[in-house]
Amino acid sequence: MEGQLAHIGAGLAAIGSGAAAIGVGNVAGNFLAGALRNPSAAAGQTATLFIGIAFAEALGIFSFLVALLLMFAV
């Protein structure tokens, strides 16, 4: 029973991955929108883009980690 609950929790935690996907899409989409308006400024901001994506993605990875912990460590 307890294990089944853990599996349900893992599934719920995986929702966070979808949320992180929305976040990453937001970052990349807004970057693209800005880059198309002012292409000359885009090249200098790719590093910022990747940092933003990394921060957004890290939280998704945290939820993935929680899911894994519930699956294997509980």
Partner 1 sequence: MASEAHGAESGGLEFHPMDQFIIKPLFGGDIINWYTPTNVTLWMALAVVAVIALMVVGTRRRAVVPSRSQSIGELAYGFVYKMVEDVAGKDAIKFFPYIMTLFMFIVFANFLGLIPMSFTTTSHFGVTVVLALLVFLTVTVVGFVKNGMGFLGLFWVSSAPLALRPILAIIELISYFVRPVSHSIRLAGNVMAGHAVIKVFAGFAAIAVVSPVSVVAITAMYGLEVLVAFIQAYVFTILTCVYLKDALHPSH
Partner 2 sequence: MATTTTDAAGHAAEAASAPGMPQLDFSNWGNQIFWLLITLVVIYFVLSRIALPRIAAVLAERQGTITNDIAAAEELKAKAVEAEEAYNQALADARVEAQKIAAEAKAEIQADLDVAIQKADAEISAKAAESEKAIAEIRAGALDSIKDVADATANEVVAALGGKADAKAVTKAVADRMKG
Q: Which is nearer to partner 2, 27 or 70 (CB)?
A: 70
> Does position 4 bind partner 2 by CB under 8 A?
yes
Q: Measured between alpha carbons, how far is 34 from 54 in angstroms, rounded to an integer?
A: 19
Q: Which residues bind partner 1 (CB under 8 A)?
A: 47, 50-51, 53-55, 57-58, 61-62, 64-65, 72
Residues 6 or more apart from 37 whose CB is under 8 A from it?
Answer: none
> Does position 74 bind partner 2 by CB under 8 A?
yes
Helices (H) and strands (E) in the chain, counts: 3, 0
Question: By the criterion CB under 8 A, which residues form the site for partner 2?
Answer: 1-4, 6-7, 68-69, 71-74
